[in-house]
């Protein structure tokens, strides 16, 4: 008697779609995603990876695990505060609340008092101006690169941008500032050398075809030794006498000086030193959502706002809401991590170390995201076996440690204190898996 092909026993698609748990999943997942999961488990059964009787259970498990987003929560135990690979700044509770509010209909461009159209993002603009009173006006676009593109296009499209050779930087993912500027139709007029640029270099470069002078804060590196750069205050006297706008791209997003980062430029100081326009990011040291901030004189901001490109790079309602709440609300997580008390970090780390019987080592965190390159942030870390790193990353939420010098290091600087026990549980379970694996190899 011929045996029945086991593939004929695989549940039919319509039968699986009719299961009560599958019907309930339609509340949070669309039909194409659900059907994709059905096909996935059926294919596993056809390949012999699942028995036909296991298909239904496998489908329900896949549905339970499937979320509408594939992004996973990560507990950042690296000690790097503005971690680009983790989405840079984590938002404050106020910013998250603002995002939820803005997810519906909101008065982003409407004056509710008289029912007429109003200026877009007026609340975010007002919050920025209150936090940086040296600026007469502000404009928000969708990221820092867009802010630079808008500025150079509006001020120097078809003309020259004067910039020091020592400031033509490349940052993460191969992003090069000169390529970005030239893509706007502006011509780069490089002055000085890699390590030394003088005021006379700028003076000889400025002419009838100069659209603006650009001063860029170097990101992710420092030039030490025989160096020279022109301070903004000296450069502003030169540009003002020639009627040329001076643009300062600060990158990291400080609105005011921070005592922890005495050499990091900030918007208030740049404007006080004579910059006509300051560019910064919203999702770095400011601690907010991805956004490009443009702060400066009313005339120059209005000139940028009227440019057709401003529409293409404008920030959406979610970014505007989160940015306003970041500036006007409580201290954001980035600033808390930057100013974390070293003694408290040691006490928290010691508590986990006692529970895990693991050593504590000195560990220097970093700002990250191109901010304060080379500036150490003294702290502490748990030192664990390197093999734990992969197991911790596989968890939900994932725990991202730093792998260094053959060790897995857990730095709590960027971990909210209320998540310490989640770190502890994750490490315990990872150690248990490691022990079972070791015992299996020994057996």
Locate 234 and state its tokens: 């000296």
**Is 263 exposed, middle or buried (CB count within 10 Å of its CB: 0-12, 13-18, 19+)?**
exposed
Rg (CA), the chain: 27
pLDDT score of 437: 79
pLDDT score of 1: 47
Does the domain at 93-330 match CATH 3.40.50.1000? Answer given as no
Backbone dihedral region of 287: left (phi > 0), alpha (psi from -120 to 50 degrees) or beta?
left
pLDDT score of 173: 66
Strands 398-400 and 74-76: parallel
Backbone dihedral region of 374: left (phi > 0), alpha (psi from -120 to 50 degrees) or beta?
left
CA dist., res. 325 & res. 322, Å (int): 5
Handedness of CA 171, 252, 239, 124 (dihedral sign): positive
**Exposure string over 317-332, b if 16+ CB within 10 A, otherwise e:** bbbbbbbbbbbbbeeb
CA dist., res. 53 & res. 10, Å (int): 7
CA dist., res. 249 & res. 101, Å (int): 32
Instruction: Report the candidate in 393, 419, 264, 271 with the shortest Cα–Cα distance to residue 338.
Output: 264
**Residue 423 is inside which H or E element, if any?**
helix 420-442
CA dist., res. 155 & res. 159, Å (int): 8
Locate 9 and state its tokens: 């026993």
**What are the per-10-residue average pLDDT scores of the chain (443 residues)?**
74 95 95 96 94 94 93 97 95 98 96 93 96 97 95 95 90 78 92 93 96 87 80 96 96 89 93 97 96 97 97 97 98 97 98 97 92 88 97 96 97 98 97 84 69
Would you say 169 and 136 are in contact if contact means Cβ atoms under 8 Å apart?
no
Domains 74-83+336-442 and 93-330 alike in fold: no
Query: Maximum Cα–Cα distance for the chain, whole Å?
Result: 100
Provide the residue ranges of all domains of the chain, joining segments of one domain with +. 6-60, 74-83+336-442, 93-330
Q: In CATH, which of 3.40.1190.20, 3.90.1150.180, 2.30.30.40, 2.40.50.100 is domain 74-83+336-442?
A: 3.90.1150.180
In sequence order, the β-bridge partners of residue 409 are 383, 402
Would you say 135 and 267 are in contact if contact means Cβ atoms under 8 Å apart?
yes
Instruction: Report the candidate in 118, 145, 137, 94 with the shortest Cα–Cα distance to residue 333.
Output: 94
pLDDT score of 436: 84
Contacts of 194 (CB under 8 A, 6+ apart): 165, 166, 223
Instruction: Report the candidate in 281, 314, 316 with the shortest Cα–Cα distance to residue 295.
Output: 281
Handedness of CA 291, 296, 300, 306 (dihedral sign): positive
* DSSP-based three-state secondary structure for 246: strand
Angle between helices 342-356 and 420-442 (to 10 degrees): 30
Q: How far is CA 297 from the centre of its chain?
A: 28
């Amino acid at each position: 008697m011929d045996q029945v092909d086991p593939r004929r026993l695989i549940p039919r698609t319509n039968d699986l779609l009719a299961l009560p748990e599958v019907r309930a999943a339609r509340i949070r997942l669309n039909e194409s995603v659900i059907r994709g999961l059905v096909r996935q488990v059926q294919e596993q059964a056809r390949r012999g990876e699942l028995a036909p009787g296991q298909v239904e259970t496998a489908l329900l498990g896949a549905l339970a695990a499937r979320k509408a987003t594939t992004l996973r929560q990560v507990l950042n135990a690296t000690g790097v505060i503005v971690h680009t690979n983790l989405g840079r700044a984590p938002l404050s509770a106020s910013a998250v609340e603002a995002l939820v509010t803005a997810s519906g209909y909101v008065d982003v461009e409407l004056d509710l008092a008289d029912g007429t159209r109003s200026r877009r993002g007026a609340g975010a603009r007002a919050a920025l101006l209150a936090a940086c009173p040296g600026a007469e006006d502000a404009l928000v676009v969708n990221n820092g690169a867009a802010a630079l593109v808008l500025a150079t296009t509006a001020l120097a499209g078809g003309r020259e941008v004067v910039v020091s050779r020592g400031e033509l930087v490349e940052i993460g993912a191969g992003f090069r500032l000169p390529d970005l500027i030239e893509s706007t139709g502006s011509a780069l007029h490089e002055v000085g050398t890699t390590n030394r640029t003088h005021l006379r270099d700028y003076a000889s470069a400025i002419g009838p075809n100069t659209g603006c002078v650009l001063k860029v804060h170097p990101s992710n590196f420092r030039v030490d030794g025989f160096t020279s750069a022109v301070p903004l205050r000296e450069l502003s006297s030169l540009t003002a006498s020639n009627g040329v706008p001076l643009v300062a791209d600060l990158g990291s997003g400080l609105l005011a000086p921070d005592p922890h980062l005495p050499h990091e430029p900030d918007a208030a100081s740049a404007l006080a030193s004579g910059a006509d326009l300051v560019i910064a990011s919203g999702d770095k040291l400011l601690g907010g959502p991805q956004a490009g901030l443009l702060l400066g004189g009313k005339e120059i901001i209005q000139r940028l706002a009227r440019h057709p490109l401003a529409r293409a790079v404008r920030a959406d309602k979610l970014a505007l809401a989160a940015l306003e709440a970041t500036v006007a609300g409580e201290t954001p997580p980035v600033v808390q991590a930057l100013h974390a008390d070293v003694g408290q970090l040691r006490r928290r780390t010691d508590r986990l170390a006692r529970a895990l019987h693991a050593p504590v080592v000195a560990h220097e965190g970093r700002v990250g995201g191109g901010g304060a390159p080379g500036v150490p942030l003294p702290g502490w870390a748990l030192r664990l076996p390197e093999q734990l790193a992969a197991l911790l990353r596989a968890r939900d939420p994932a725990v991202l440690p730093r792998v260094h010098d053959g060790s897995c290091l857990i730095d709590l600087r960027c971990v909210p204190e209320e998540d310490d026990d989640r770190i502890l549980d994750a490490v315990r379970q990872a150690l248990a898996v490691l022990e079972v694996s070791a015992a299996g190899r020994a057996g």
